[in-house]
Amino acid sequence: MSGNKPRSALVTGGSRGIGRATAIRLAANGHRVAVNYNTHAEEAAEVVEQIRSAGGTAVAVGGNIADKKSALAMIDAAVAAHGPIEILINNAGVISDSLLLRMKDDQFEHTMQTNMFGTYYCTHKVLPGMVKGRWGRIVNVSSVVGMRGNIGQSNYSASKAAVFGFTQSIAKEVATRNITVNVVAPGYITTATSAVISDKQKETVLTWIPQGRFGEPDEVAPVIVFLTTDEAQYITGDIIRVDGGMAI
């Protein structure tokens, strides 16, 4: 987009789905993109190659955001490659579904550790540099399930709802430093995560969505990327749903 200078960007969970689509679009806008992955190194390398083949700048950085030491080392690698992080997309997350009556402690803890604490670790690490540079864009990818809840997803819903409060609090803290912090809350998107849903479950979910279909990663990524632009500088602390009307 015209008028937006190249920046150093980090996309967590950038090897697949929404993260992949976002990384590619950020690179197309001229940004230097660090594509984070945890277990999908080969797919992250493919994203990097696609970006470089199109004339962009990208590097893959491995790291588990649920582990503080790993998350911080991953960010250090991204900074070493492209400079201080100016655009942070907290996209990585996990799902571990179960009715609460059957849920194990480690299911709840791991989901919260990844989806909420991982977002905290990454944001806490890059924010001082944004404050020093007096410019920053943070977009946290949550979920409409954090708004409306869902059977079998008390852990996931809790973790994604926590991201809303975290985002709005940070947005207030750094608003005068030309740093915006927003949430994009997707509904059901066609990704590897949704691929495990049974046909019967999909039929039920589709009845919740006024548009009658799942979304695509390329329908979420443009919203995320817009929030990183100069044109979006007066939007902060907001929650933007991309859900086909599911949360209406």
Number of H helices and number of E strands within the chain? 9, 7
- Residue 132: helix, strand or coil by DSSP? helix
Query: Strand runs (DSSP E) across the chain, as ranges?
Result: 8-11, 32-37, 57-62, 87-90, 136-141, 179-186, 239-242
Burial of residue 200 (number of CB atoms within 10 Å: 0-12, 13-18, 19+) = exposed
CA 182 to CA 163: how far, in whole Å?
10
Helices 105-112 and 154-174, packing angle to 10 deg: 30
Which member of 37, 120, 156, 188 is catalytic? 156
Handedness of CA 190, 35, 90, 137 (dihedral sign): negative
Burial of residue 224 (number of CB atoms within 10 Å: 0-12, 13-18, 19+) = buried
Active-site annotation holds for 121: no
Q: 40: which residues sit within 8 A by CB, 6+ positions away?
A: 15, 16
**Cα angle vertex 171, ends 188, 74, to 5°?**
70
As given in the structure block, the two tokens for residue 227 are 């929030």
Q: Which residues are catalytic?
A: 156
